[in-house]
């Protein structure tokens, strides 16, 4: 009998998981989304096979259900769905960035013949929508699974088998451990980046030049502040028990910097930056983490007409795709800098090699 899968929520993540499943399994993939247009696009792109009109219609006789929706919406769906429609032995998983609340809710309300295993694929893209879905989105990324202690290990293995087309690295941990780690290295940095942007926005009222100057490095280091406000509202609310102590620690950290600056303690200031540099330089460069990576290559270019088209032509002849290109500096008679963005580390390295062969100087920061 043909296996059936239901994807609820056909954005970037849901669509990419559907493509990864299709790559490894011969099955029927159903799709449900609140947007009819999204469903039509998903079917036209062969991301799904069938469109269902409601969640209740979609869950009947399916073997796997993936809830690729915000956490608050996931909880709502689990509460409102007709529990009697679930097939015996069906596995349900989600993709939410917080786990404790959703796993607790699922355990509380789902019938015994249903297995819920929390999931969080730690990968993404700066593009959104089902049109941006790619089967390789999760390749080499960490995919966290948060089964309960009572969950049969065979169900966990079965879910990993369903998801093996993602080519992700599966890690099992408790929901509480997940929320602490994700809070520290993903949720909290988003708060910091957003706070920096809001601070500059308030200053810009009195200093209009700030906005123009912030278009360079400041804009780069705060890229993650452009994420969905709805998603981050839900994440903060659901993980506030982790984030509030982290905010207390951050306030203490900043006060420490303020103190050594007030004291004009040159050695302490130097040590503060040196310690951070040493620790950051130890971080893996080619491993996908909780925050989507930016595969940027910086190319020194002379102030000559046609130099940008020359760079892009070199990459085009090698079939290397650029996802974004930006001129960081071009002043008359001064070397300019191009920032080229790629979809993967492999593409960036290939670009670096072929540009250097053409005698361009490149760097990776």
Domain count, the chain: 3
270 lies in which domain range? 178-281
Specify whether 92 is located in the same domain as 224.
Answer: no
What is the C-alpha separation between 38 and 44, in angstroms, rounded?
Answer: 10
Q: Output the CA–CA distances (angstroms, integers) from residue 66 to 8, 21, 52, 158, 248, in the order listed.
A: 6, 11, 14, 14, 36
Would residue 286 count as lying in a domain? no
CB atoms within 10 A of CB 187: 23
Specify whether 29 is located in the same domain as 164.
Answer: yes
Specify whether 168 is located in the same domain as 184.
Answer: no
Specify whether 107 is located in the same domain as 154.
Answer: yes
Domain boundary among 110, 140, 172: 172
Specify whether 249 is located in the same domain as 359.
Answer: no
Specify whether 168 is located in the same domain as 183.
Answer: no
Specify whether 22 is located in the same domain as 158.
Answer: yes
Q: Is residue 54 helix, strand or coil?
A: coil
pLDDT of residue 334: 44
Domain boundary among 253, 281, 309: 281
Would residue 10 count as lying in a domain? yes
pLDDT of residue 329: 54
Q: Is residue 28 helix, strand or coil?
A: strand
Would residue 331 count as lying in a domain? yes
Would residue 54 count as lying in a domain? yes
What is the C-alpha separation between 186 and 290, in angstroms, rounded?
Answer: 6
Q: Is residue 62 helix, strand or coil?
A: coil
Look up the pTM and report it. 0.75
pLDDT of residue 288: 55
What is the C-alpha separation between 80 and 105, in angstroms, rounded?
Answer: 12
Helices in the chain by DSSP H: which ranges? Answer: 12-24, 36-44, 55-59, 71-80, 100-109, 153-162, 175-182, 188-204, 209-213, 217-221, 229-238, 240-262, 266-281, 307-317, 345-357
**Looking up tokens 């002043």, which residue turns up?**
331
What is the C-alpha separation between 211 and 301, in angstroms, rounded?
Answer: 26
pLDDT truncated to tens, each residue of the chain (365 aa)?
899 999 999 999 999 999 999 999 999 999 999 999 999 999 999 999 999 999 999 999 999 999 999 888 999 999 999 888 899 999 999 999 999 999 999 999 999 999 999 999 988 766 678 888 888 888 888 999 999 888 999 999 999 999 999 999 999 999 999 999 999 988 999 999 999 999 988 888 888 788 777 766 787 788 888 888 888 898 999 999 999 999 999 999 999 999 999 999 999 999 999 999 999 888 766 555 555 566 788 888 876 778 888 899 999 988 898 877 877 654 444 457 888 988 778 889 999 999 999 888 888 86
What is the C-alpha separation between 80 and 357, in angstroms, rounded?
Answer: 60
Would residue 73 count as lying in a domain? yes
- CA angle 63/144/150 to nearest 5° reads 65
Strand partners, 57: none
CATH number, residue 266: 1.10.3660.10
Specify whether 141 is located in the same domain as 260.
Answer: no
Q: Output the CA–CA distances (angstroms, integers) from residue 146 to 101, 106, 124, in the order listed.
A: 12, 12, 19
Domain boundary among 120, 143, 172: 172
Would residue 127 count as lying in a domain? yes
Specify whether 185 is located in the same domain as 168.
Answer: no
CATH number, residue 114: 3.40.50.720
CATH number, residue 301: 3.30.2130.10
Would residue 8 count as lying in a domain? yes
Specify whether 212 is located in the same domain as 246.
Answer: yes
Specify whether 143 is located in the same domain as 11.
Answer: yes
Specify whether 105 is located in the same domain as 159.
Answer: yes
Would residue 287 count as lying in a domain? no
């Amino acid at each position: 009998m043909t296996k059936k899968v239901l994807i609820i929520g056909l954005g970037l993540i849901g669509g990419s998981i559907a493509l990864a499943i299709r790559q490894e399994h011969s099955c029927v993939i159903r799709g449900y989304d609140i947007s009819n247009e999204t469903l039509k696009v998903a079917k036209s792109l062969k991301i799904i096979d069938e469109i269902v009109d409601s969640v209740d219609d979609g869950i009947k006789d399916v073997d796997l259900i993936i809830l690729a929706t915000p956490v608050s919406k996931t909880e709502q769906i689990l509460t409102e769905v007709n529990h009697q429609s679930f097939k015996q032995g069906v596995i349900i998983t989600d993709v939410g960035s917080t786990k404790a609340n959703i796993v607790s809710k699922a355990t509380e309300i789902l019938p015994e013949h249903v297995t819920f295993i929390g999931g969080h694929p730690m990968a993404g893209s700066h593009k959104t929508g089902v049109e941006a879905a790619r089967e390789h989105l999760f390749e080499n990324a960490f995919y966290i699974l948060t089964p309960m202690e009572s969950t049969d290990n065979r169900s966990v293995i079965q879910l990993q088998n369903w998801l093996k087309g993602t080519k992700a690295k599966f890690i099992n941990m408790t929901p509480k451990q997940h929320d602490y780690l994700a809070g520290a290295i993903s949720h909290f940095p988003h708060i910091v980046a957003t706070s920096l942007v809001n601070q500059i926005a308030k200053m810009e009222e009195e200093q209009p030049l700030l906005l123009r100057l912030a278009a360079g490095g400041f804009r780069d280091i705060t890229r993650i502040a452009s994420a969905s406000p709805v998603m981050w509202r839900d994440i903060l609310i659901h993980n506030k028990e982790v984030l509030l102590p982290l905010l207390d620690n951050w306030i203490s950290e900043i006060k420490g910097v303020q103190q050594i600056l007030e004291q004009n303690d040159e050695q302490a200031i130097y040590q503060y930056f040196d310690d951070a540099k040493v620790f950051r330089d130890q971080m893996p460069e080619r491993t996908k983490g909780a925050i989507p990576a930016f595969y940027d290559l910086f190319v020194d270019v002379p102030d000559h007409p046609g130099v940008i088209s020359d760079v892009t032509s070199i990459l085009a002849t090698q079939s290397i795709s650029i996802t974004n290109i930006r001129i960081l500096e071009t002043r008359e008679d001064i070397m300019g800098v191009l920032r080229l963005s790629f979809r993967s580390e492999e593409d960036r390295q290939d670009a670096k090699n072929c540009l250097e062969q053409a005698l361009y100087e490149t760097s990776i920061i």
